[in-house]
Amino acid sequence: MAGFILRWICGALGLWLASKIVPGIHIRGVETLLLAALLLGLVNAFVRPVVVLLTLPLTLVSLGLFLLVINAAMFWLVSVFLSGFIVHGFFAALGGAIVTGLVSWFASGFIGAAGKFERLGARR
């Protein structure tokens, strides 16, 4: 449960950073930020795998670059459901998806490492 909360906070941090760096992304309030991070996690867990599977031929032909378009679409999809999370256009969604993905990836390295060390310590 602690790992889920840490990843959720890291996702929220990535969304906040994206709203500060990428023009065209606006988040109104901390509640919207936390809800957007949660919804983005759910969309990436349930909707994204279906979309990736359906667009697999296009992803293979583009040598995986189409995954960036899919990530941007998932980012935009979250903005459709939340009125306080505003994404203006495809390039804003693409930039936001890249920033959020990089922050989450970087943070997961630390969260994953902490989890491994805890498990190693528990075996002793």
Q: Higher-confidence residue: 83 or 111?
A: 83
Give the global pTM.
Answer: 0.85
Mean pLDDT calculated for residue range 54-69: 97
Query: Residue 22: which pLDDT band, with cuts at 50, 70 and 90?
Result: very high
Asked if 88 and 24 count as a contact pair (C-beta separation under 8 A), the reply is yes
Mean pLDDT calculated for residue range 48-77: 97
Cα angle value 103/88/15 (rounded, 5°): 20
Amino acid at 7: R
Residues in the chain, how many?
124
Please give the torsion angle defined by the CA atoms of residues 31, 36, 42 and 44, in that order, rounded to the nearest 10 degrees: -160
Give the pLDDT confidence of 2-20 residue by residue, as tens digits.
778 888 999 999 999 999 9
Give the pLDDT confidence of 84-123 residue by residue, as tens digits.
999 999 999 999 999 999 998 998 888 775 555 455 555 5
List of E strands, 1-124: 25-27, 85-87
